[in-house]
A and B are shown apart, each in its own frame.
Chain A
């Protein structure tokens, strides 16, 4: 009985906050746009029979008729992939440094990683605008150093989007890798070195494989939200930045077409299910290995 209750809580949570909203969105994606409150038809008010009859996959077919949508999905995948890669590149050394730092520093270092969360995400992205703009701090600094003679155009380009995503999601990369490295037994490195490994190859042959689960967890935690990211590309990106989150916003607000917007969202979710399932499997394997 207790076991049942323990399982029921997370599954109940999932059903209420994920499954039911998803079914509602899915239902809207099968409806037609209408000028009414709410702006689609049919609704529950029309009765269940009429509701079922009025639903079709027209909106999904529509998404295949215009290049815009698949280009936006592809472009989002690309941006999410590269930002995950860069976040790993920046995050791993930081996590490694934290795990190697003296015991008494670690709590402070951990606090420093989490500290940005105390400020609103939106304000931090706005701060990046101030740093990256043509008259921004970064350009002024580089001009002062004499490295450049004209300001670099960074804001309103994809580079700014990468900077924004890497900066924002960095803690999600650092924390799981740090957790994996922190648990690692230092004597394994010593053993490797005793057996003739150089420091470098000990790192590649021992440390990296042992932190693999942390790397995988970190990459998924960055990749999944980055794929549907809306705020960062709209604030930092330019008109050439194509991401599915922006397309979804335009369908919803500019075209007022909730059904097509819902269809875009359903497909985005289907794309996300693949990495989410892989992530779950990795977590499970890890739990079994430790269990």
Chain B
């Protein structure tokens, strides 16, 4: 995470067309938008857009809690959003300034209320799942043709992992995603904050730890695409990017993504306006622009993630709307779970457990 954090902040993009008086500052995840949309926003509204990127929720949260970030729109993930709302970091949206709210999708909205009651503070930008990416040929070579590539057995069972270690396995460096996955494997409630359950998840992780080559939250895209590794536990859109990169390179690497059939974690990236945003009006204009059906579709078509915008679906290309890895069918959708933010004391145990899993100390 830290490694990419440094690239993320270094790669802050600055867009300028002309010297305009009004500015909107947006802070979004890296590689998360079609950049033509940024130009389009400036042309349509005449507002100068300053677009910076980050790649870790922790960095964003630290900026929000320190206050005075200077941003007008930021994009935290659900659990982080919830905590930051409690801390008083965001302001309520003004629906009168957001006519495109009518485009939003109730299927997503009824899930995001878990983090943002009544969706008063945020709109959904993108959502996805955390799952398993495999290099199909290499995994079959290691485990035979009936390898359980759509099951947690593949990555949580030490017997399978021992056989996969030779061709390389990466895990996300994100305890908030990996520990729930281990709990799901054990048949526990993946959103459990009981210390006992965290300990059980730790045991599962320690058993497979010797076979994990690396914990990292972004390097797996390239490693998977190049054929350097055969399994990555990661985010849906990232693994699909790896699949597309391998296909473009025509290097014979076939990548597949599966949300585990036992149940996979679902997450939501939400756009919100900081309490001390300098240009609240401009921020609403940006949100309304993003909620436009065609604009939102352009963003999803570009980044391979599903969005929370019902009206945009008719403009989505078949590769996106028709791909069950991006837009899961009803059965899979019901099988997805969400998590809630742990209390500070539990958070400390989770971080400490993760350090122990990674370094043995």
Q: How far is the CA of A67 from the CA of B355 in the complex (A)?
A: 12
B195 is an interface residue with CB less than 8 A from chain A: no
CB contact between A38 and one of B2, B6, B58, B67 (< 8 Å): that residue? B67
Q: How far is the CA of A36 from the CA of B65 in the complex (A)?
A: 7
Tell me the B72-123 residues at the A interface (CB within 8 Å).
83, 86-89
Q: How far is the CA of A270 from the CA of B61 in the complex (A)?
A: 29
Q: Which residues of B contact A264 (CB under 8 A)?
A: none
B214 is an interface residue with CB less than 8 A from chain A: yes
B163 is an interface residue with CB less than 8 A from chain A: no
> Does the CB pair A39–B87 fall under 8 Å?
yes
Q: Which residues of A contact B62 (CB under 8 A)?
A: 252-253, 256
B187 is an interface residue with CB less than 8 A from chain A: no
Q: Which residues of A contact B359 (CB under 8 A)?
A: 239-242
Contact segment of B143-151, B177-185, B326-334, B345-353: B345-353
> Does the CB pair A68–B352 fall under 8 Å?
yes
Q: How far is the CA of A239 from the CA of B209 in the complex (A)?
A: 11
Tell me the A223-266 residues at the B interface (CB within 8 Å).
231, 234-235, 239-242, 246, 249-250, 252-257
> Does the CB pair A255–B59 fall under 8 Å?
no
Tell me the A7-65 residues at the B interface (CB within 8 Å).
33, 35-39
> Does the CB pair A37–B3 fall under 8 Å?
no
Q: Which residues of A contact B358 (CB under 8 A)?
A: 239
A104 is an interface residue with CB less than 8 A from chain B: no
Q: Which residues of B contact A71 (CB under 8 A)?
A: 361
A156 is an interface residue with CB less than 8 A from chain B: yes
A122 is an interface residue with CB less than 8 A from chain B: yes
A66 is an interface residue with CB less than 8 A from chain B: yes
Q: Which residues of B contact A37 (CB under 8 A)?
A: 64-67, 87-89, 275
CB contact between A35 and one of B59, B67, B87, B360 (< 8 Å): that residue? B87
Q: How far is the CA of A33 from the CA of B62 in the complex (A)?
A: 13
Min CB distance, A241 to chain B, in Å?
8
Min CB distance, B278 to chain A, in Å?
16
Question: Which residue on chain B has the smallest CB distance to residue A120?
Answer: B10
Q: Which residues of A contact B64 (CB under 8 A)?
A: 37
Q: Which residues of B contact A68 (CB under 8 A)?
A: 352, 355, 361
Q: How far is the CA of A253 from the CA of B348 in the complex (A)?
A: 11
Q: How far is the CA of A68 from the CA of B359 in the complex (A)?
A: 11
Question: Which residue on chain A has the smallest CB distance to residue B360?
Answer: A240
> Does the CB pair B65–A255 fall under 8 Å?
no
Q: Given A35-B83, A37-B67, A242-B361, does the pair A231, B351 have CB atoms closer than 8 Å? A: no
Q: Which of B2, B6, B61, B275 has the most CB of A within 10 A?
A: B2
Q: Which residues of A contact B83 (CB under 8 A)?
A: 35
Q: Which residues of B contact A241 (CB under 8 A)?
A: 359
Q: Which residues of A contact B360 (CB under 8 A)?
A: 240
Q: Which residues of B contact A122 (CB under 8 A)?
A: 6, 10
- Chain A interface size band reads 20 to 34
Q: How far is the CA of A252 from the CA of B2 in the complex (A)?
A: 13
> Does the CB pair A254–B351 fall under 8 Å?
yes
Q: How far is the CA of A33 from the CA of B348 in the complex (A)?
A: 12
Q: How far is the CA of A242 from the CA of B360 in the complex (A)?
A: 10
B337 is an interface residue with CB less than 8 A from chain A: no
B215 is an interface residue with CB less than 8 A from chain A: yes
Question: Which residue on chain B has the smallest CB distance to residue A240?
Answer: B359
Q: Given A33-B344, A66-B352, A68-B352, does the pair A253, B87 have CB atoms closer than 8 Å? A: no
> Does the CB pair B61–A36 fall under 8 Å?
no
Q: Given A37-B89, A235-B6, does the pair A257, B355 have CB atoms closer than 8 Å? A: no
> Does the CB pair B88–A38 fall under 8 Å?
no
Question: Which residue on chain B has the smallest CB distance to residue A37?
Answer: B67
Q: Which residues of A contact B2 (CB under 8 A)?
A: 234-235, 246, 249
Q: How far is the CA of A254 from the CA of B2 in the complex (A)?
A: 11
> Does the CB pair A239–B215 fall under 8 Å?
yes
Q: Which residues of B contact A257 (CB under 8 A)?
A: 344, 348
Q: How far is the CA of A253 from the CA of B175 in the complex (A)?
A: 13
> Does the CB pair A39–B351 fall under 8 Å?
no
Question: Which residue on chain B has the smallest CB distance to residue A33?
Answer: B344
Q: Which residues of B contact A252 (CB under 8 A)?
A: 62
Q: Which residues of A contact B59 (CB under 8 A)?
A: 253
Question: Which residue on chain A has the smallest CB distance to residue B62?
Answer: A253
Question: Which residue on chain B has the smallest CB distance to residue A250?
Answer: B351
Min CB distance, A42 to chain B, in Å?
16
Min CB distance, B56 to chain A, in Å?
8
User: 0/1 per residue, A79-123, Cβ < 8 Å to B?
Assistant: 000000000000000000000000000000000000000000010
Question: Which residue on chain A has the smallest CB distance to residue B341?
Answer: A35
> Does the CB pair B352–A39 fall under 8 Å?
no
Q: How far is the CA of A87 from the CA of B333 in the complex (A)?
A: 57
Q: Given A255-B351, A256-B347, does the pair A156, B214 have CB atoms closer than 8 Å? A: yes
Q: Which residues of A contact B86 (CB under 8 A)?
A: 35
> Does the CB pair B361–A256 fall under 8 Å?
no
Min CB distance, A104 to chain B, in Å?
40
Q: Which of A68, A250, A253 has the most CB of B within 10 A?
A: A253
Can you add 17 more A-B contacts, CB < 8 Å, to A156-B214, A239-B215, A256-B65? A35-B86, A37-B64, A37-B89, A39-B65, A68-B352, A68-B355, A68-B361, A234-B2, A239-B214, A241-B359, A249-B2, A250-B351, A253-B56, A253-B58, A253-B59, A254-B351, A256-B58
A-B contact pairs, 10 of them (CB 8 A): A37-B88, A71-B361, A235-B3, A235-B6, A239-B359, A240-B360, A250-B355, A256-B61, A256-B347, A257-B348
Contact residues of B with A, CB < 8 Å?
Answer: 2-3, 6, 10, 56, 58-59, 61-62, 64-67, 83, 86-89, 214-215, 275, 344, 347-348, 351-352, 355, 358-361
Question: 6 smallest A-B Cβ distances: which pairs?
Answer: A253-B58, A239-B358, A234-B2, A39-B65, A37-B67, A254-B351
